[in-house]
Amino acid sequence: MELNTKKKLHALSLAEKIQVLELLDESKMSQSEVARRFQVSQPQISRICKNKEKLLADWCSGTANHERKRKRESKYSGIDEALLCWYHIARAKAWDVTGPMLLHKAKELADIMGQDFVPSIGWLVRWKRRNNVGFGARQVLVPLFPPEPPPPGLLSQVQPPLSLKDFSPEDVFGCAEVPLLYRAVPGRVLACDRLQVLLCANSRGTEKRRVFVGGLQAAPRCFFGVNSEALPASYHPDLAIPWSEWLAQFDQDMGQQGRQVALLLAAGVAEEWASLPGLHHVRLLPLSASSTTPSLPGSVVLAFKAHYRHRLLSKLAAMQRGRKGTSLADARANITVLDALHMVAAAWAKVSPQLILSSFIHEGLAPGKTAPSLNKDTEMSPVPSGLSQEEFSHFVDLEDEDPGPRVCKEETGTEDIGREEDGFESLPTKADALRALCTLRRWLECNSTSPEPFEKFYDCEVEVEQLCCL
């Protein structure tokens, strides 16, 4: 004889509770008979009858999970309801709603409500189960009273194409391909020195995309031992920018942030890539058909090139002073593609948000009646010593010149005879890095005229020491 005679609790799902109500309404069965049929207690049937209106409302809402047995209230019910409301609005607008987008919106709603809440994947799974939410085929909610069809002449106006007004300024991006002779000096321009740089930023200047660089070399020797994730810019072994790859990564990044953004492109380019599959978060907006300029204002591109040229000349001058007898030609020959990636990233970082914002407004690519006033002397790179303003301006636009006909070793895959005669350089060890820190600090102690450089040095010192401890 079994000692444990306790009955196992049997909870009914929402669908089964509706069946109970139907049986009680349509037949003459008593609550006890219905309880025996569903193998539950009579008091449970009684509670179902008391909650009849609420159960029917949940059943008819279309959002309740019909297989759910218990309706436990969430600790953050306000966020639950607000997110569900936003979800229905998004689906009604035919947006592609993803999990990361819901997590981002839930956190945003929690901040608005002043609640200390960080949504997790587990919370999202339970939220979807509670509200019968799935990410299957897109379902557009149909209104109870659909509007009357418009006259035939107005059909073209019913769904106008997206425009700048449909996006906030922070979500409007412009981009430009910039040819760059990465180690050119005045009077010496070679075709093999060419890189193709892709710059992209939003119209507020508050967000700059990682620089994308295309080059002639498939595997530059200077990349030996370098962690590609640590490179300051993305490198592609071809001067032709792989737009499909770049756009796919851009779309993926925006999807992870739960954003819908616009990318301004020349009319021809936008039309060419409009049919690219898989773009759910980046909308391509064409500029006017008469526009021949890139969507990133020319003044922004010019500022980037000026900062790069200034940094290049400073680096060449330092190399000449650091090693006596080094000519300008020898110094430029020691500039590698890896050096160029670092200088490109540094030059792009130097372009100020104020200049980008002012340039977008001036070009009519961002809302704003008047562009903010700027001090050109502070926004543009200063003219290096030894060059006049006119000479430096000409130097910045060297790409417009016809490069010399000389055959370059770079084009054959070799690089910098002076650096590579002995093969690949050995990789620095942790001990080398720590010794280099001591040498740099000692040099600053003997040559710096103020304590300011040490503030930047200390940050670098901490980063290097932490990496050495890994």
Q: Please report, for the domain that includes residue 43, its CATH number.
A: 1.10.10
**Coil, strand or helix at 272:** helix
Question: Does 93 have pLDDT greater than 80?
Answer: no
* Residue 384 lies inside a defined structural domain of this protein: yes
- Same-domain status, 101 and 41: no
Name the residue among 296, 292, 282, 212 with its Cα closest to residue 252: 282
Q: Which of 48-52, 136-140, 146-150 has the lowest mean pLDDT?
A: 136-140
Task: State both tokens at 19.
Answer: 């069946």
Question: Structurally, how many domains does the chain consist of?
Answer: 4
- Same-domain status, 194 and 218: yes
Q: For the residues 430-445, what does the mean pLDDT come to?
A: 86
The CA R_g of the chain, rounded to the nearest whole Å, is 32
- Same-domain status, 31 and 87: no
Percent of the chain with pLDDT over 90: 17
Task: State both tokens at 117.
Answer: 């809440």
* Residue 44 lies inside a defined structural domain of this protein: yes
Return the half-sphere exposure (C-beta side, CA atoms, 13 A cut-off) of residue 397: 9
- Same-domain status, 306 and 398: yes
The Cβ of residue 285 has, within 10 Å, a number of other Cβ atoms equal to: 21
**Coil, strand or helix at 373:** coil
- Same-domain status, 214 and 361: yes
* Residue 418 lies inside a defined structural domain of this protein: no
* H or E stretch at 202: strand 194-202
Which pLDDT band, with edges at 50, 70 and 90, does 388 fall under?
low
Which pLDDT band, with edges at 50, 70 and 90, does 141 fall under?
very low
* Residue 48 lies inside a defined structural domain of this protein: yes
Q: C-alpha angle with apex 93: 155 to 162, nearest 5 degrees?
A: 60
* Residue 142 lies inside a defined structural domain of this protein: no
Alpha-carbon distance of 198 to 437, in angstroms, equals: 34
**Coil, strand or helix at 86:** helix
* Residue 152 lies inside a defined structural domain of this protein: no
* Residue 351 lies inside a defined structural domain of this protein: yes
Alpha-carbon distance of 437 to 463, in angstroms, equals: 11
- Same-domain status, 117 and 237: no
Which pLDDT band, with edges at 50, 70 and 90, does 144 fall under?
very low
Alpha-carbon distance of 362 to 374, in angstroms, equals: 12
105, 110, 116, 117: CA torsion to nearest 10: -40
* Residues 183-228 pLDDT 10s: 888 766 665 688 999 999 999 999 999 999 998 887 788 888 777 7
Q: Which of 91-95, 242-246, 425-429 has the lowest mean pLDDT?
A: 91-95
| Backbone angles phi and psi of 404, in degrees to 5 | -65, 160
Q: For the residues 286-314, what does the mean pLDDT come to?
A: 83
Q: Which of 304-313, 372-381, 456-465 has the lowest mean pLDDT?
A: 372-381
Q: Which residue has better confidence, 68 or 431?
A: 431
The pLDDT value given to residue 148? 53
Most confident region among 7-21, 218-232, 245-259, 274-288 by mean pLDDT: 245-259
* Residue 419 lies inside a defined structural domain of this protein: no
- Same-domain status, 22 and 94: no
What is the side-by-side order of every strand in the sheet holding 172-181? 234-236, 212-214, 194-202, 172-181, 261-265, 282-286
- Same-domain status, 43 and 90: no
Side chain identity, residue 414: T
Q: Are 274 and 284 in contact (CB under 8 A)?
A: yes
- Same-domain status, 184 and 115: no
Side chain identity, residue 78: G
The Cβ of residue 76 has, within 10 Å, a number of other Cβ atoms equal to: 19
What's the chain's length in residues? 470
Alpha-helix runs per DSSP H in 237-297: 243-256, 267-273
- Longest CA pairwise span in the chain (Å): 109
pTM of the model: 0.58
- Same-domain status, 103 and 205: no
**Burial track 168-202 (b if 16+ CB lie within 10 A, e otherwise):** ebebbbbbbbbebbbbbbeebbbbbbbbbbbbbbb
What range does the domain containing 121 cover?
Answer: 77-131
Which pLDDT band, with edges at 50, 70 and 90, does 159 fall under?
very low
Return the half-sphere exposure (C-beta side, CA atoms, 13 A cut-off) of residue 338: 15
Question: Does 145 have pLDDT greater than 60?
Answer: no
- Average of per-residue pLDDT values in the chain: 76
The Cβ of residue 217 has, within 10 Å, a number of other Cβ atoms equal to: 21
- Same-domain status, 197 and 109: no
The pLDDT value given to residue 85? 81
Among residues 6, 37, 61, the one where a domain terminates is 61
* H or E stretch at 23: helix 14-26
The pLDDT value given to residue 200? 96
Which pLDDT band, with edges at 50, 70 and 90, does 400 fall under?
low
- Same-domain status, 88 and 223: no
| Backbone angles phi and psi of 197, in degrees to 5 | -110, 130
Which pLDDT band, with edges at 50, 70 and 90, does 149 fall under?
low
Which pLDDT band, with edges at 50, 70 and 90, does 411 fall under?
very low
Which pLDDT band, with edges at 50, 70 and 90, does 261 fall under?
very high
Side chain identity, residue 450: S
Percent of the chain with pLDDT over 70: 72
Alpha-carbon distance of 5 to 446, in angstroms, equals: 89
CATH number, residue 124? 1.10.10.60
Q: Are 105 and 127 in contact (CB under 8 A)?
A: no
Alpha-carbon distance of 430 to 465, in angstroms, equals: 9
Which pLDDT band, with edges at 50, 70 and 90, does 389 fall under?
low
Alpha-carbon distance of 278 to 282, in angstroms, equals: 10
Task: State both tokens at 113.
Answer: 């409500």
